[in-house]
Amino acid sequence: MHINILLPLRRVIELSAQDEDYDLAKLVLTSKHRRAKRGILAKFLDKTLPPDPKPTFVSGFLAEIVLKAHSVSRWSLALLVPPLLVMTILLTMLLLKVPFLEYSVVQVLTNLFNLFVSDGWATGLAWAFGITVVVAIGSFVDHDLLQRQLDYLPATKNHFYNFWLRLALWEEMVFRAGSEKWTWAERVRASFLFGIIHIVNIWYSMAAGLSIGLTGFAFMLIYQWHYRKTQNQIYATSVTGVVHALYNVAAVALIAVVGIVWLVQKFIL
């Protein structure tokens, strides 16, 4: 499938609700997400996560169509974001009081390298080593050609939001989509692993990683609520993916504001 058929493919998805016999529409709507098998991170998740439920692949563009079909507004879902952010921040602040949880991977590596070199060199080596390891462990997604083409169909006119929606849906399909087939113990385990892999972002503290695990469980509850209401995995994944994307956008905006305030106080005031 080449890029020049993206517009027809967009039309195919839109027509799917009207013409369920349209073969390509069926192909799009039944494309299964399968866990990546190659790379250290992919193998770790494959061994530690509950059994792969092979959910239907949901792209950002498809998610927006599904929400529109169900008359669900992005802004109504945005109401869930502030309490989720507050919960994550408060739990992180609480966990930061626990010894060692305040450290990030970069800080641990810096302290280690500091045994052999000066502070500046230790910090530089920590970042270089950490980034190298992150690249080396690989990705947790492995989409086929059709899925990659679907993934790059623009969901909205806002490219910044589209980027975060794409990433959010990647995580939703690994950690929550299809979780109606899991036990509650398996759902808790998947949420814990969701938090743990965020420590791979080497500047995240361990406290932040653990608190994001709780946020992941909140996303799990949102997914389960909407799945049980509709018995529709595509719809539940779409809702949770959009909430997750809006949460990420809000978190990035908050970090940017805090960073700007810090810079102003340090260098201007």
**97 phi/psi in degrees, rounded to 5:** -80, -10
**In a 3-state reduction of DSSP, which class is residue 78?**
helix
* Burial status of residue 260 (CB atoms within 10 A of its CB: 0-12, 13-18, 19 or more): exposed
Closest to 189 measured CA to CA, from 178, 199, 176: 176
Residue 6 lies in a domain: no
Task: Please count the structural domains in the chain.
Answer: 1
* Short-list 233, 79, 226, 243, CA closest to 161: 243
Both tokens of 171, joined, read 């995580």
166 domain residue, yes or no: yes
Range of the domain at 184: 31-267
Nearest to 63 by CA among 260, 181, 223: 223
Condensed to tens digits (0 to 9), the pLDDT of residues 154-172 reads 899 999 999 999 999 999 9
pLDDT in tens, 114-155: 888 887 888 888 888 888 887 888 888 888 888 888 888 889
- Residue 264 to residue 269: CA distance in whole angstroms: 6
The answer as to whether 124 is a domain residue is yes
The model's confidence at residue 6, banded by pLDDT at 50, 70 and 90, is: very low
User: CA dihedral in degrees (68, 70, 76, 82; nearest 10)?
Assistant: -100
What global pTM score does this model have?
0.86
Closest CA to 195 of 213, 168, 182: 213
CA Rg value for the chain: 20
Q: How confident is the model at residue 264 (pLDDT cuts 50, 70, 90)?
A: confident
Q: Can you tell me the mean pLDDT for 79-88? A: 95
Q: Which of 75-84, 120-129, 235-244 is predicted with the least confidence, judged by mean pLDDT?
A: 120-129
Helix/strand/coil for 56: strand
- Asked if residue 223 belongs to a domain, the reply is yes
**Cβ distance 177 to 250 under 8 Å?**
no
Place 17 in a pLDDT band, splitting at 50, 70 and 90: very low
pLDDT-based confidence at 263, cuts 50/70/90? confident
The CA distance from 173 to 179, in Å, is 9
Q: Which residues, in sequence order, are CB contacts of 258 under 8 Å at separation 6+?
A: none
CA atoms within 13 A on the CB side of 106: 13
Distance CA 66, CA 69 (A): 5
Instruction: Tell whether 14 is covered by a domain.
Output: no
Residue 53 has pLDDT above 90, yes or no: yes
Residue 40's Cβ-count burial label (10 Å; 0-12, 13-18, 19+) is exposed
Residue 11 belongs to a domain: no
Q: For the chain, give the mean pLDDT.
A: 85
For residue 146, the model assigns a pLDDT of: 82
- Residue 53 maps to a domain: yes
Q: Is residue 24 part of a domain?
A: no
pLDDT recorded at residue 198: 86
* Tokens read off for 179: 């979780």
